[in-house]
A and B are shown apart, each in its own frame.
Chain A
Amino acid sequence: MGLPASAILNDDDLDLLLSESFRLYGYDFTNYTRASLKRRINRLMIIDRFPSFAELLHRVKHDPHYWSRVVEELTVNVTEMFRDPQSFRIIRETIIPLLAPHPFIRIWHAGCASGEEVYSMAIMLEEAGLLHKSLLYATDLNPAAVDNVRRGIFPISLMKQYSENYLLSGGKKDFSSYYTAKYDWAKLDERFTAKMIAATHNLVSDKSFNEFHLVICRNVLIYFDKDLQDKVLSLFDDSLVSQGFLILGSKENIRYSSIAIKYTQWAQKEKIWQKTM
Chain B
Amino acid sequence: MGAERKDLAKDNVKPYRLVVIGGSAGSLETILQIVGSLPAGTDASYVIVVHRKNTGDSILTELLSGRTDLRVREIEDKEPIIPGTVYVAPPDYHLLVENENEFSLDSSEKVQFSRPSIDVTFESVALAFGPAAIVVLLSGANADGADGIIRVMEAGGYSIVQDPQTADMAMMPKQAIDRSEVNAVLSPSEIGPHIRSLLTRTPRLKSPPEE
A interface residues with partner B (beta carbon < 8 Å): 1-2, 5, 8, 33-36, 38-40, 76, 78, 84, 86, 219, 221-223, 226, 249-253, 256
B63-112 interface (Cβ within 8 A of A): 75-78, 90, 92-93, 96-99, 104-109
The residue on A at minimum CB distance from B91 is A250
The residue on B at minimum CB distance from A255 is B76
Q: Does B151 contact A (CB under 8 A)?
A: yes
The residue on A at minimum CB distance from B75 is A251
Q: Would you call A222 and B151 a contact (CB within 8 A)? A: no
Q: Would you call B150 and A35 a contact (CB within 8 A)? A: no
Q: Does B120 contact A (CB under 8 A)?
A: yes
Residues of B within 8 A of A33 (CB): 96, 98, 104
State the main secondary structure of chain B at its contact with A: mixed
Residues of A within 8 A of B99 (CB): 34-35
Q: Would you call A35 and B76 a contact (CB within 8 A)? A: no
Q: Does B190 contact A (CB under 8 A)?
A: no
Q: Would you call A251 and B105 a contact (CB within 8 A)? A: yes
Q: Would you call A78 and B107 a contact (CB within 8 A)? A: yes
Q: Would you call A84 and B124 a contact (CB within 8 A)? A: no
Q: Would you call B77 and A221 a contact (CB within 8 A)? A: yes
Residues of A within 8 A of B128 (CB): 35
Q: List 27 A-B contacts (CB under 8 A).
A: A1-B147, A2-B150, A2-B151, A33-B104, A34-B98, A35-B96, A35-B97, A35-B104, A35-B127, A36-B104, A39-B106, A39-B123, A39-B124, A40-B108, A76-B106, A76-B108, A78-B107, A84-B92, A221-B77, A222-B77, A222-B93, A222-B104, A249-B107, A250-B92, A251-B75, A251-B77, A251-B93
Task: State the Cβ distance, A180 to closest chain B Cβ, in Å.
Answer: 26
Q: Would you call A226 and B127 a contact (CB within 8 A)? A: no
Give CA–CA (A114, B76) in the complex, Å: 25
